Amino acid sequence: MSFVNYHTKEINCKIVYYGPGLGGKTTNIQYIYQKTSSNNKGQMITLNTENERTLFFDFLPLDLGEIRGFKTRFHLYTVPGQVFYEASRKLILRGVDGLVFVADSQVERMEANLESLNGLQKNLLEQGYDISKVPMVMQWNKRDLPNIVPVEDLQYQLNKLKLPAFEAVATNGTGVFETLKMISKSVLLNIKGGLE
């Protein structure tokens, strides 16, 4: 749940990057970190296993500036993608304001994409969220690889809700900021005006 402080005119929002293991969630955040000026970002936290897989979460705080007099602060999190970290994923979804689903475009990862998306829906429901009501953006990542599923198929199989979707190659930054910009806008437009 976003936190709006009307006294200090600050908005805090939590955006979670969700998706199957090795889909590029951490790479998205790392690219954002690299390309953001030091004045606008805090320390990036990564809690990894020895072989560089996300163990608990990655975290990147972004202070982007003001919009209509409100200072905006986005907290970007990734979940661990590996199937057996389900408990951690549930924890990280608590208080989420917006979601980026990072799908792996490779043919052989479609099943993992679907499993992850179904898991997301279930985990959100357990915490009282309706997936159709949480701001969410789809990202079709790894579009530079040869064995990829056509975008139309990804849309058909993974985007029944007809959410905004972006093609991406997170390793070189293609689509990364476009995705972030879209989810940020959706989150800001979804902030309830009443007191927190």
- Contact call for residue 119 and other proteins (CB under 8 A): no
Cα 70 versus chain centre, distance:
22
Q: Pattern 57-96, binding to other proteins, x per CB under 8 A?
A: x-x-xx-xx-xx-x-xx-x-x---------xx-xxx-xx-
Among 40, 49, 118, 127, contact with other proteins (rule: CB under 8 A): 40
Residue 113 structure tokens: 């994409």
Q: Which is nearer to other proteins, 53 or 185 (by Cβ)? A: 185
Q: How far is the CB of 114 from other proteins (least distance, A)?
A: 26
* Position 56 contacts other proteins (CB under 8 A): yes
Q: Is 173 exposed, middle or buried (0-12, 13-18, 19+ CB in 10 A)?
A: middle
In angstroms, the CA 121 to CA 63 distance is 29
**CA-based nearest residue to 140, from 154, 130, 126:** 154
What would the two tokens of residue 55 be? 């163990």
For residue 115, which amino acid is it? E
Binding site for other proteins (CB under 8 A): 1, 3-8, 11-12, 14, 35-37, 40-45, 47, 56-57, 59, 61-62, 64-65, 67-68, 70, 72-73, 75, 77, 87-88, 90-92, 94-95, 177, 180-181, 184-185, 188-195
